[in-house]
Amino acid sequence: METEKIMETVNMIANENLDVRTITMSISLLDCIDSDSDVACQKIYDKITTKAQDLVKVGQQIEAEYGIPITNKRVTVTPIAIVAAASHDKDYVKYAKTLDRAAQTIGIDFIGGYSALVQKGFQQGDRTLLSSLPEALAETDLVCASVNVGSTRSGINMDAVAQMGQVIVDASKRDVMANAKMVVFCNAVEDNPFMAGGFQGVSEPDVVINVGVSGPGVVKSALEKVKGESMDVVAETIKQTAFKVTRMGQLVGTLAAQRLNTQFGIVDLSLAPTPAVGDSVAQILEEIGLESVGTHGTTAALALLNDAVKKGGIMACSHVGGLSGAFIPVSEDAGMIDAVTAGHLNIEKLEAMTAVCSVGLDMIALPGETPANTISAIIADEAAIGMINNKTTAVRVIPVPGKGVGDTIEFGGLLGHAPIMGVNQASSDAMIQRGGTIPAPLHSFKN
């Protein structure tokens, strides 16, 4: 890696919102398992606060030395449904509070891994964790949760899909912000450094550093220099920009791993927008040639963007992972908010876009009266897109009690604000109540 070439990107920081979105330390808790939950929780707290005690300090040192903003310092852990299963506790809120206490002790922004992997069915720990999700998220500040309900190899667990619709409704009644910290996945990845869906996969090393890099403003600025050029030029410009940004992420990740005396894992180059002016994925798509995101051609432009980002990232770093592509969260993207408000973008178009983007339906505010089965059906649709296309898809929707279509909810910070979006009023109840499994597709059998 040539430091001089990497540092060419530093001039993008001041005016184009380039940042390292997160340094995430991923920590295995498999050696913390104990049949006594009090003992297990103490082991968890001790391991996190020992392994990650210098994470924030090291991040700040790298920021100061290289002038590269590192927006978040985070931790992910082994899914708690696995870790807590030996305890036979009736709920796992104690574990969530332990994670929260550890996160506050080391001064990080979020901790992910209050999670369950139920794509093929439930074990008792999974059932216990899912039933405790609303309380656990309402009772903690920094804990993020995720549930994987499907995969290309196993199909979709429709019993889990049905339960998660109800979990989301119940969580919204406790705390409207709870669902901002919870994601429902299909084909979840084990090395995701982003929140709310990050957790440490069981095949990961004991401790590893993963880095998430973002720069929608950098890509938009580069495209402003090739107005009127062919789509080939657009793709090449995005690819070259993604290459530079990824190299910066690799530098930061390598330095952080060395200073924390641990292993460097992956760079996740995901164009993750923020509410800041000029830091919008929607505005990249509009720079490609759309009057407004959501109009015809949006899915094609997004497919080009996502593919070019991946190609540029892979050329820049041998260890690209996570989700790596373009995120399309409504509340966190000023351009998306404008398009929804103007009536150019609806949930059906967003669903189509998720077939080609990095993840799925993200940070979408729904009317507070949205039925649980409707939310389950939205999850099922997204999971089907992921399962059939062998890609990660996800749902992070937020029913807002007392709000209806046309109202707005303010989340604050990087989560921004969102207009309440309408959903189809026709019922999906009979389908969701069937339960069972949607079988894996034919092309999943590759051995």
pTM score: 0.91
Place of tokens 């051995």: 447
pLDDT at residue 141 in the model: 94
pLDDT at residue 146 in the model: 96
**386, 348, 380, 130: CA torsion to nearest 10:** 100
Token pair listed for 81: 């449904």
Under 8 Å between Cβ of 67 and 13: yes
- 389 CB-contact burial (10 Å; exposed 0-12 / middle 13-18 / buried 19+): middle
In angstroms, how far is CA 34 from the centroid of its own chain?
A: 30
pLDDT at residue 272 in the model: 77
Peptide bond into 196 cis (omega under 30): yes
β-sheet bridge partners, residue 116: 147
pLDDT at residue 411 in the model: 83
Token pair listed for 300: 């094609």
Whose CA is closest to 326, among 350, 303, 344, 297?
303
Q: Which domains are present in the chain?
A: 22-54+63-186 (3.20.70.20), 214-442 (3.20.70.20)
According to DSSP, the β-strands at 361-367 and 393-400 are parallel
Under 8 Å between Cβ of 432 and 344: no
pLDDT 10s digit of each residue in the chain, 447 long?
455 555 555 565 555 557 788 899 999 999 999 999 999 999 999 999 999 999 999 999 998 888 888 888 999 999 999 999 999 899 999 999 999 999 999 999 999 999 999 999 999 999 999 999 999 999 999 999 999 999 999 999 999 999 999 999 999 999 989 999 999 999 999 989 888 889 999 999 999 999 988 778 888 888 989 999 999 999 999 998 888 888 888 888 999 999 999 999 988 888 877 766 667 889 999 999 999 999 999 999 999 998 998 888 888 777 887 887 778 888 888 888 899 999 999 999 999 999 998 788 989 999 999 999 999 999 999 999 999 999 999 999 999 999 999 898 888 776 778 899 999 999 999 999 999 999 998 887 877
**244, 191, 375, 360: CA torsion to nearest 10:** 20
β-sheet bridge partners, residue 182: 145
At residue 301, φ and ψ (nearest 5 deg) are: -65, -40
In angstroms, how far is CA 131 from the centroid of its own chain?
A: 22
